[in-house]
Amino acid sequence: MARKTRTAKPSEFGNGAQFYQSDREAKARKKAGGSSTEMQDLIDQALSERMHSGEMTPQTSGRTKANLFMDSLKDAYSPERRRSTNKKGNQR
């Protein structure tokens, strides 16, 4: 009998992209409140570099930063946030 393949279920976020955020990053996002986290700063820096090099327009860069920030907030504060578990079923 052939094995049935499983497909990943995409997250329902504003920009339509699949979004993944680790539990550690979600906790950092909650702790930071409205300010940015270390990971957010690194992503913003990379987007700014692409904008200044001409690979991305300022509008696209700003829109991407805003979508990423909103998606990370939605994921961190989502009541359905799935927690990763180890083989024994304990939360990590």
pTM reported for the whole predicted model: 0.63
Which helix (H) or strand (E) covers residue 28, if one does?
Answer: helix 23-32
In a domain, 56, yes or no: yes
pLDDT digits 0-9 by tens, 45-85: 999 999 999 999 999 999 999 888 888 888 888 776 555 54
Identify the domain containing residue 62 by its residue range.
23-77
Residue 64 lies in a domain: yes
Distance of CA 60 to the CA centre of its chain: 17
In a domain, 11, yes or no: no
How many beta carbons lie within 10 A of that of residue 57, not counting itself?
11
Q: Indicate the number of domains in the chain.
A: 1
